[in-house]
Chains A and B, each alone.
Chain A
Amino acid sequence: MKPVSEQTSALLPTSSLQRLIDLLQAKGHRVVAPTLRDGAVVWDTIRQVADLPVGWRDVQEPGRYRLENTGSAQVFGIVHGPQSLKPFTFAPREPLLQIERTKKGFSARPTLPQHENIAILGARVCDLAGLAVQDHIFLKDAHRDPYYEIRRAGLFLITVNCTRSLATCFCASMETGPRARSGFDLALTELEEVFLVEAGSEAGQEMVSALSLAPALTMHAHEADQQIKACAISQTRRLDRSQLPQALYDVHEHPRWDDVAARCLACGNCTMVCPTCFCHAVEETPDLAHQRSEHTRLWDSCFTQDHGYIHGKNIRPTIKDRYRMWLTHKLASWIDQFGSSGCVGCGRCITWCPVGIDLTEELAALMKPSTQAKEKPSQT
């Protein structure tokens, strides 16, 4: 998907957003967008602009998430909720096989998901980056994952460039945002009473044409640029990747791991909200008559006791082992495995950590030379 030059940008008046929703539905898409439920933001099916959290914004800090109504007319004032795009493609619970008992044994049948066209309205740029990371994992290896592939094929992605950063955001330092460069069908920038619309794919271009939108003026593009740049500059958190991956492998015995382990609850929240974490378990669920069994993939977390278990021993028995595994994988070994960082800078793991552990802070502390760094334990 080539980035579309700004000359081809178009204008969609905020008051005409319903036209876009109607068109998406007419073209057979289920439109999914951020909605409010129980004081949080969740992805849900919408039919009209009124279903969107207009006038609401989120305040996020380490271990804290609040929504507040500002009374403004801003449609996409909320940056993001706990869910990235991950559940749409890497389903939290994916039935893989249905297995029937036969006279002598069994027969297995794949239970592939139904293809469904879903238009996601309001995906954030960091989430596009997370999706690109997961595409690489599930689709670029020798074994393509067919379940992921079917779900992925149905997505039409409408991203919204960020014009406001949260206290927990650091996409600018990860070079994943706040402006979408690729991986979308349409990109919106929300300005005063108008959306600047860019197409990022042929399908997106068709949508722009079908809406017969007026072309954007230079002043609109300029205004969008200014706001997105200001958003990037306002980010206070950053993650210094210059020494990675090696520097993190080198601090395997740093005392900071003990420090963070004393705070970490090993709840696994960070892995559940992470747009890139891909660990999963496979569960076998037979029926009571033992005639039929379901083989199901479920999200797993490297913070669980089971994750590192192998007959008779646990490779990672302590929380220190598990936090170190998570951070080292996310920021270091991921680069060796997939050619990119496992972190896109969305900051969700910081917000949704019950005790507010901040990986940017942990990395910075680990990168500081420690006077009391322990020697590698001698061979026993």
Chain B
Amino acid sequence: MTPFSQAIVNDAANPYLIQPAIIVEKIREAEYIDTYRLRFVDEQVRRSYRFATGQFNMVYLFGVGEVAISVVSDPDEPESLDHTIRVVGRVTKAIAQLQPGDELGIRGPFGRGWPLESIRGKDIVIVTGGLGCAPVVGAIEYVFRRRSQYGAVKILHGVKTPHDLLFRERFDAWRRQPDTQVLLTSDEPDKTWHYHVGVVTELFEQVAVDPARTVVLMCGPEIMMRLGAPILIERGVPAAAIHVSLERHMECGIGLCGHCQMGPYFLCKDGPVMSYDRVAGFLGQSGV
């Protein structure tokens, strides 16, 4: 007999099966960006579903398709499942039309998230750039909900124009946290901008870093990681203590469709959060 002769397949083991989830709440974050609070329709799925911060789900809309979106809510409250979705393409545009009570589909969670448990007690430097950066918002909220378990927190956020600064209230709230520094910068400021002017890596000069106890979480354009990480390494932060959240097209979430490759990695299963030492050689390489 061949070793394949007993192909017994049940639905529970089918990685393509989509579970319906109701939109309980739709929270406007900014123009074209909403957070969808979801609740699985199936009670058993609702009870058994677990995720880690930084993991993602394939979010499905009937008749339209799936898109990979990171989970931003707290893993200790898995029954409340939040995804912050920006309208960028065909599927997200259609999702934006939905209202509370409508259904989405969920398949996941997939991938490796932020190493938040193993970095307890460390100082955390968060470097983000661009619009929103939902994958790291979940990590920041996670840390602040367990504030005493972590050391100093420094949040460095760069935007192109002041108009691109989303989650203003969140930045203000984070700024009020103990032992926390929030620094903002804009490349192309207007008259209302009273923070730093320039790119986010320039903010590194304004923060004190104890390399031995610092962990860096980065999310944003790859060029920011490529230029930023070496500066931190120069200051003594080990490359393995720098974690970056990377983005590629994904259709399956389980390392089979081939679209999310970066060098030898499938970002859907080896990432989307990768330690910088593993990807340094591939960041910024054209066509990788």
Residue contact B7 to A278, C-beta cutoff 8 Å? no
| A91 CB–B CB distance under 8 Å | no
Distance in angstroms between the alpha carbons of A277 and B3 in the assembled complex: 23
A282's contact among B9, B14, B65, by CB below 8 Å, is which?
Answer: B65
Residue of B nearest to A317 (CB): B287
Residue contact A279 to B2, C-beta cutoff 8 Å? no
Residue of B nearest to A94 (CB): B16
Contact with B along A336-350 (1 / 0, CB 8 A): 110000000000000
| B interface majority secondary structure | loop
Distance in angstroms between the alpha carbons of A113 and B64 in the assembled complex: 23
| A interface majority secondary structure | mixed
Residue contact B249 to A284, C-beta cutoff 8 Å? no
Residue contact A310 to B249, C-beta cutoff 8 Å? yes
Residue contact A309 to B249, C-beta cutoff 8 Å? yes
Distance in angstroms between the alpha carbons of A202 and B3 in the assembled complex: 11
Residues of A within 8 A of B269 (CB): 141-142
Residue of A nearest to B282 (CB): A249
| B17 CB–A CB distance under 8 Å | yes
A280's contact among B4, B226, B257, B266, by CB below 8 Å, is which?
Answer: B257
Residue contact B5 to A311, C-beta cutoff 8 Å? no
Residue contact A318 to B287, C-beta cutoff 8 Å? yes
Residue of B nearest to A336 (CB): B264
Distance in angstroms between the alpha carbons of A128 and B236 in the assembled complex: 51
| A315 CB–B CB distance under 8 Å | yes
Residue contact B16 to A185, C-beta cutoff 8 Å? no
Chain A: interface size category? 35 or more
Distance in angstroms between the alpha carbons of A92 and B250 in the assembled complex: 19
Residue contact A150 to B9, C-beta cutoff 8 Å? yes
Question: Which of these binds chain A: B73-81, B101-109, B139-147, B175-183?
Answer: B101-109
| A293 CB–B CB distance under 8 Å | yes
Distance in angstroms between the alpha carbons of A217 and B70 in the assembled complex: 65
Distance in angstroms between the alpha carbons of A96 and B266 in the assembled complex: 22
Residue contact B2 to A282, C-beta cutoff 8 Å? no
Contact with B along A94-134 (1 / 0, CB 8 A): 00110101001111101010010000000000000000000
Residue contact A106 to B258, C-beta cutoff 8 Å? no
Distance in angstroms between the alpha carbons of A139 and B63 in the assembled complex: 29
Distance in angstroms between the alpha carbons of A284 and B62 in the assembled complex: 9
Residue contact A321 to B287, C-beta cutoff 8 Å? yes
- B39–chain A nearest beta-carbon distance, Å: 12
Q: Which among B13, B285, B288 has the greatest number of chain A C-beta atoms within 10 A?
A: B288
Q: A108-B105, A333-B264 are in contact. Are A293 and B63 (CB under 8 A)?
A: yes
Residue contact B258 to A315, C-beta cutoff 8 Å? no
Contact with A along B121-154 (1 / 0, CB 8 A): 0000000000000000000000000000000000
Residue of A nearest to B101 (CB): A104
Contact with A along B164-206 (1 / 0, CB 8 A): 0000000000000000000000000000000000000000000
Residue contact A284 to B256, C-beta cutoff 8 Å? no
| B279 CB–A CB distance under 8 Å | no
- B64–chain A nearest beta-carbon distance, Å: 6
Residues of A within 8 A of B1 (CB): 201-203
Residues of B within 8 A of A144 (CB): 13, 15
A110's contact among B14, B22, B287, by CB below 8 Å, is which?
Answer: B14
| B255 CB–A CB distance under 8 Å | yes
B interface residue numbers (CB < 8 A to A): 1-7, 9, 11, 13-20, 22, 41, 62-66, 88-89, 101-103, 105, 226-227, 247-249, 251-252, 254-259, 261, 263-264, 266, 269, 281, 284-288
A-B pairs, top 9 by smallest CB distance, nearest first, are A105-B103, A321-B287, A279-B258, A336-B264, A286-B63, A311-B88, A153-B7, A146-B9, A284-B65
Q: List 11 A-B contacts (CB under 8 A).
A: A1-B2, A97-B16, A106-B105, A108-B19, A141-B255, A152-B4, A282-B66, A283-B65, A284-B63, A333-B264, A337-B266
